[in-house]
Amino acid sequence: MMLHVPDVLSPDQVRAMRTALDATNWIDGRQTVGDQGAQVKRNRQLPEQSQVGRELGAAVLAALARNALFFSAALPLRFVPPLFNRYEGGEHYGVHVDGAVRALPGSAQQLRTDLSCTLFLCEPEDYEGGELEVIDTYGSHEVKLPAGDLILYPASSLHRVHPVTSGTRVCSFFWLQSMVRNDQQRGMLFELDQNIQKLRSRVAECEETVALTGHYHNLLRLWSEV
Q: Which residues are annotated as a binding site for Fe cation?
A: 96, 98, 159
CA distance 16 to 221: 40
CA distance 126 to 110: 37
Which residues are known binding-site members for 2-oxoglutarate?
Answer: 169
Helix 207-223 vs helix 183-203: crossing angle, to nearest 10: 160
Using DSSP's 3-state secondary structure scheme, residue 106 falls into: coil
Neighbouring-strand partners of residue 115: 154, 176
Residues 6+ apart with CB under 8 A from 23: none
The H or E element spanning position 57 is helix 51-65
Which residues are known binding-site members?
Answer: 96, 98, 159, 169
